[in-house]
Amino acid sequence: MAGQTRRPSRRTWGTGDRRAPALRRLQAINEALAASRADAAIDLILREATRVACAPLPASLYRAALGGSFALAQPSAGTSLPHVLPGAHVEALRQALARGRRHACIPAAPLLTGSAPLALWPVHAAGGLSAILLVPLSRPRLTPVQRDALGLLAGLLGLALGRPVDDDQALKRVVAGVAHELNNPLAIISGYAQILLAAAPDELQPDLERIDRAARRSAQVVRDLLAFAREQPMAPTRIAIESLVHDALATEGAALAQSGIAPSVQVAAGLPPVRGDRLQLTQVLVNLIAQARRAIVGHPGASKLGIHAAAGAGVRLSVSDDGPGIPPDLLDGIFEPFLVAKEGGLVLSVCRSIVRAHGGRIWATNNPAGGATFHIELPAAE
């Protein structure tokens, strides 16, 4: 998205015939908006904002997230911009708007490659501040033409966004930003701990090992966060339920055998296939089987794990165990991320996201005789 470095002039946003290239670019944006191609329109708008401001870095869009924060809409590896917009920047924009100004400028914002002045423009959609257009500047002040052009582009972004981000999307953007920021420090901590382990005296070895284990556990949490936040592209095919169960058991079979668990499998005859991404649906079933296995292993006297498939509103898959069950106060929120880590945490949230993306639903119940059952209902393939 990096723009050209020439200064904006009559060739881009001036008057007369020389403004034709800018008008053509605006027409392309309007055509994308008219065709409801929001992603394409946003990309064109950001490119134009970069060009208009002669920005040394690409203009970026920060979308409203939970807790009043703003997260980078499409974070990319190696970006010099923060994944979550600093609260001081957001407050500077709010104060500027309260004073009747159309935008805010940050004279010298720290970036990974140094510092640069930034311009922040509000993007209003669905009746509120839904996003912020951030434009790095090559010099502290904008010309009147640049200010007018960026104001217009921020308005077009509001049309492209159209509606606020739902809670799941907002949370995922914040989670992705936080996870990216944690990756490097954790790798450094673990790396230095391993280097010191090779040369440290014996009395320091246990402490260094604890540091290394803690860093590795934290890194696994970061990987889980990224799995939760990542939008997974789908490759839908027609899938027989029997083959889905077979694939999941092939993946989790060794762990079940090592735990001394022999699953009971019952698949009703004549079930229609479902349509979906085989790898993603297998991941869901593997996660639920692993959840049941852990419940059984951690509960003395438990040993039963059942997988059942039958007709419902579509096709219903159930994974049950005779473990301790789910505490009643957690049952309704068991798929919410970060509710209680030991109750499934992000893994169950990922399962819910995948099932929803396939047009299905997922829920959990406690069994009358003890233990819990997780249910998935997927629409049958047409």
Tokens (6 digits) for 116: 């640069």
Residue-level pLDDT at 16: 44
- Measured in Å, how far apart are the chain's first and last C-alpha atoms? 41
Residue-level pLDDT at 174: 57
Residue-level pLDDT at 273: 93
Which DSSP symbol is given to 208? H
Tokens (6 digits) for 319: 């994974």
Residue-level pLDDT at 5: 44
Tokens (6 digits) for 229: 């936040």
- When computed from its CA atoms, the radius of gyration of the chain, rounded to whole angstroms, is 26
Residue-level pLDDT at 175: 61
Query: Which secondary-structure segment (H or E) carries 12?
Result: helix 10-13
Q: Count Cβ atoms within 10 A of the Cβ of residue 269 and give its class: 0-12 exposed, 13-18 middle, 19 or more buried.
A: exposed
Residue-level pLDDT at 283: 86
The Cα angle at residue 242 between residues 310 and 357, in degrees rounded to 5: 75
β-strand 128-136 against 104-111: which pairing, if any?
A: unpaired
Task: Residue 311: name the closest of 235, 378, 230 by CA.
Answer: 378
Query: What crossing angle do the helices spanning 205-229 and 345-357 adopt, rounded to 10°?
Result: 20
Question: E-strand spans in 204-304?
Answer: 236-239, 264-267, 274-277
Residue-level pLDDT at 79: 56
pLDDT in tens, the chain (382 residues): 444 444 444 344 444 444 567 778 888 888 888 777 788 888 899 999 999 888 888 888 988 875 567 888 765 444 567 777 888 888 889 898 888 888 988 887 666 456 778 899 998 865 568 889 999 888 878 888 888 888 888 888 888 886 444 455 555 665 666 666 677 787 888 888 888 888 888 888 888 888 888 888 777 667 666 666 665 666 788 999 999 999 999 889 888 999 999 999 999 998 999 988 888 899 899 989 999 999 999 888 888 999 999 987 789 999 999 999 988 878 877 887 655 444 445 678 888 888 988 889 999 999 998 999 999 999 988 7
